[in-house]
């Protein structure tokens, strides 16, 4: 890794001299080189955490919970990085110098999925190709290789750029100030919801509590006393189609079920 330092200072829109432009271009290359080496280091660290299960000692329910809660990025991105370290370093014996100049997205395209496209016989050829070709061109190469049976099938990966580096919705924080009695009520509600849902995540429990309240709220504000509203709310919340059947006559229920199945087949 280069020991050169990149100066950080406010940019005020001034015109760049030839020398300043050259330095800017050099600084970008220096920083890019550091990032390339650091992503592989991060991949190795994440692999160690995932493989050892140490996240449990750190108070997390799962490795995914650790990644989302403590690192603040998507689990799929972590899995993508881990696949790079597992395949390139653990299995194929490559190091940072072998991967320099490629970038983690393209390397991950080669290692991702249940059956990576690279193996001991072709890894050097693929790395050379990844270094020389654009992401789109590499995608096309991987598709052709998989169609010809390289990598043993796509393993759920088509060689397309993984959406791990696409923007994703992040949990949003909410803060409240409560009196002692109010806090006691909230904690009791969370405790009851935890017993029913089997989850310990406060955000999820609060969502369930609010949904239950909405379902039982008075019709004066939201008309939530109607069956139609409840069906719509459940369908929206859980992204499912919800149907209701009247109790009583079994033949009537059978008829309703047939009608519902016919509707679903349309």
Write the pLDDT tens digit of every residue in 198-247. 667 777 778 777 766 655 554 444 454 566 666 666 666 566 666 676 66
pTM of the model: 0.50
Using a CB cutoff of 8 Å and minimum separation of 24, what contacts does 130-134 make? 130/102, 130/106, 131/101, 131/102
> Tens digit of pLDDT for each residue in 78-123?
888 888 899 999 999 988 888 887 887 888 889 876 678 899 999 9
H/E element holding 102?
Answer: none
Higher pLDDT, 246 or 162: 246
- Confidence check: pLDDT of 36 > 80: no
Q: What's the CA angle centered on 159, arms 50 and 145, to 5 degrees?
A: 120
- Confidence check: pLDDT of 1 > 50: no
The rounded distance, in Å, linking the Cα atoms of 240 and 227 is: 16
Using a CB cutoff of 8 Å and minimum separation of 24, what contacts does 153-156 make? 153/114, 153/115, 154/113, 154/115, 155/113, 155/114, 155/115, 155/116, 156/113, 156/114
DSSP string, 10-71: ----PPPPHHHHHHHHHHHHHHHHHHHHHHHHHHHHHHHHHHHTGGGTTT-SSHHHHIIIII
């Amino acid at each position: 890794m280069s020991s050169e330092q990149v100066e950080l200072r406010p940019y005020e829109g001034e015109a760049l001299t030839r020398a300043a432009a050259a330095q800017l271009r050099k600084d970008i290359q220096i920083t890019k080189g550091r990032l390339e080496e650091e992503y592989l280091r991060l991949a190795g660290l994440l692999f160690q955490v995932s493989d050892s299960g140490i996240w449990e000692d750190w108070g997390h329910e799962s490795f995914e919970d650790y990644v989302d809660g403590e690192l603040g990025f998507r689990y799929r991105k972590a899995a993508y990085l881990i696949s790079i370290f597992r395949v390139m370093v653990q299995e194929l014996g490559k190091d940072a110098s072998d991967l320099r100049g490629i970038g983690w997205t393209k390397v991950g395209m080669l290692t991702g999925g249940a059956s990576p496209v690279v193996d001991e016989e072709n890894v050097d050829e693929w790395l050379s190709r990844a270094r020389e070709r654009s992401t789109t061109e590499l995608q096309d190469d991987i598709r052709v290789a998989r169609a010809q049976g390289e990598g043993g099938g796509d393993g759920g990966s088509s060689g397309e750029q993984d959406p791990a580096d696409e923007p994703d919705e992040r949990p949003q924080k909410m803060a409240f100030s409560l009196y002692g009695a109010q806090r006691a009520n909230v904690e009791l509600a969370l405790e009851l919801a935890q017993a029913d849902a089997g989850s310990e995540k406060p955000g999820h429990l609060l969502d369930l509590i609010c949904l239950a309240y909405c379902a039982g709220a008075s019709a004066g504000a939201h008309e939530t006393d109607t069956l139609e509203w409840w069906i719509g709310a459940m369908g929206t919340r859980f992204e499912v189609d919800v149907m209701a059947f009247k109790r009583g006559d079994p033949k009537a229920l059978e008829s309703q079920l047939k009608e519902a199945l016919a509707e679903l087949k349309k």
